[in-house]
Amino acid sequence: MTGKQIVSMSADLFGVIASIIRRHTRDGRTIPLLPRYVPHERRSSAPMPFLFQRRIGTNHESSPTLTVVNMLKKVSEFTNTDVLIPMNRRLIGR
């Protein structure tokens, strides 16, 4: 990775992100670099270590943005909290 960014986040969010990274890197594995299709650009992104990805058979795929947003909505409803999606500053939930 050539550039580094600092992202401010709460301790709770940091814990969640750390858990996701630990899940991906257990047993000494690295987070796979995957492209993701970007619908509004009508092209695939450069391969990146997306945190939200899944294994289908022997292949890894990045989770579509809408899938991640829908998962966050379900968590929001279950916990009765609001979730802010920082990319486009939408509040989802309740």
Q: What is the pLDDT of residues 19-70, one digit of tens each?
A: 888 888 888 888 889 998 888 889 988 999 888 888 888 888 888 878 887 8
> Is this prediction's pTM over 0.85?
no
Q: What is the pLDDT of residues 21-33, one digit of tens each?
A: 888 888 888 888 9
Q: What is the pLDDT of residue 3?
A: 60
Best CA proximity match to 72, nearest among 52, 56, 55: 52
- Residue 82: pLDDT band (50, 70, 90) is low
Rounded to 5 degrees, φ, ψ at 93 are 120, -160
Domain ranges of the chain: 10-63, 64-94
Best CA proximity match to 86, nearest among 12, 24, 8, 18: 8
Cα dist. 36→20, 30, 76, 86 in Å?
Answer: 18, 18, 25, 19
